[in-house]
């Protein structure tokens, strides 16, 4: 039976990164700039893909989805964090906390599955190039994207439901930058072993399974690339995968570090820093990675900038 002091909170207080005012102001400026760069970078990448017909391929269709996920994830976490940097009382209502947890978990899960889908796309492009267009048609790409979004949403709904049915007693302080899953579970005044099992199972299904599929895809891809002659052909094939491999390393590494060991995992400070990595750094870096490491995207930028510079004299006259 529940004791009398077990109740459900109506609001929470996020402790954030620091209580020092000068530090908070400095962090506000830094993260505001990074957030604006994130939104602008991903918006420009999506716009470039839409405007350049050479980028109307499955790879860039999935990349558009990835950019939308990145902007959405950052927008769920960062604006509220920026407000709290300048606010005296860093309160987040119960329903807002639940919504933030749901959307951040959903978008994180969607990204993990989508990266596996993108690995499959690269596998088809490198290993069976003659059948690539026939297999990776628009209908299949749309179904794969929908599968990513639906699987992430279902997992998040289940995790959010079982987390927010826990009684939080009178403890309202969340020692984190947002309503992160493990941080909220720690508030419970009952045994949370079933929640930890659910987190572990979810991590295996939605994190490790896509990660293993990515590994299998790239084992096949690398084995094919090594057989390509001459070396210029190998270099070209590798360049088609380099951007995706970099993003995979960034996204999967930190998540595996946190969620596969919820009991003996990272410290609270490490959790905060890793959450910042996902909320700000990764969404900001992804469009840069694809722009700098991908020849097709660099070529599209040059073409677009060439058209723009050609229009400037006409507009001036």
Calpha distance 116→135 (Å, rounded):
17
Calpha distance 40→25 (Å, rounded):
23
State pLDDT tens for residues 216-273: 998 888 888 887 776 666 676 677 677 778 888 878 877 776 655 555 556 777 778 8
State pLDDT tens for residues 182-207: 888 888 888 888 888 888 888 888 88
Tokens of 165: 């049915």
The whole model's pTM is what?
0.85
Phi, psi values for residue 172, rounded to 5°: -110, 0
* Mean pLDDT in order along the chain per 10 residues (317 residues): 52 85 92 95 90 86 94 94 88 91 93 93 88 91 95 93 81 85 85 84 85 90 80 68 79 71 63 85 85 70 66 54
Helix locations, 52-178, DSSP H: 58-86, 94-127, 132-135, 138-163
- Residues 46/288, Cβ–Cβ less than 8 Å: no
- Residues 181/214, Cβ–Cβ less than 8 Å: no
Question: Strand pairing of 91-93 and 173-174?
Answer: unpaired
- List, in order of start, the domains of the chain with CATH numbers: 11-310 (1.20.1070.10)
């Amino acid at each position: 039976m529940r004791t009398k002091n077990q109740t459900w909170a109506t609001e929470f207080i996020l402790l954030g990164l620091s209580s020092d005012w000068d530090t908070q102001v400095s962090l506000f400026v830094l993260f505001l700039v990074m957030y604006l760069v994130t939104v602008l970078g991903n918006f420009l990448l999506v716009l470039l893909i839409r405007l350049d017909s050479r980028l109307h391929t499955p790879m860039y269709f999935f990349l558009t989805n990835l950019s939308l996920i990145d902007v959405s994830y950052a927008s769920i976490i960062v604006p509220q964090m920026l407000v709290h940097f300048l606010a005296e009382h860093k309160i987040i209502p119960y329903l807002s906390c639940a919504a933030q947890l749901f959307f951040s978990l959903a978008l994180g899960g969607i990204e993990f599955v989508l990266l596996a889908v993108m690995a499959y796309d690269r596998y088809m492009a490198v290993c069976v190039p003659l059948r690539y267009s026939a297999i990776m048609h628009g209908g299949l790409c749309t179904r794969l994207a929908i599968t990513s979004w639906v699987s992430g949403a279902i997992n998040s709904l289940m995790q959010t439901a079982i987390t927010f049915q826990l009684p939080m007693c009178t403890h309202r302080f969340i020692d984190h930058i947002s309503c992160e899953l493990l941080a909220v579970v720690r508030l419970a005044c009952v045994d949370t072993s079933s929640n930890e099992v659910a987190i572990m199972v979810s991590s295996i299904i939605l994190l490790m399974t896509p990660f293993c599929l990515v590994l299998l895809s790239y084992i096949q891809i690398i084995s094919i690339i090594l057989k390509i002659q001459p070396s210029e052909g190998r270099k070209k094939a590798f360049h088609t995968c380099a951007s995706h491999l970099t993003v995979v390393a960034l996204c999967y590494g930190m998540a595996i570090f946190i969620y596969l060991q919820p009991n003996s995992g990272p410290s609270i400070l490490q959790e905060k820093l890793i959450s910042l990595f996902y909320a700000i750094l990764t969404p900001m870096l992804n469009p840069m990675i694809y722009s700098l490491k991908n020849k097709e995207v660099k070529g599209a930028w040059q073409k677009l900038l060439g058209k723009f510079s050609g229009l400037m004299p006409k507009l001036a006259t």
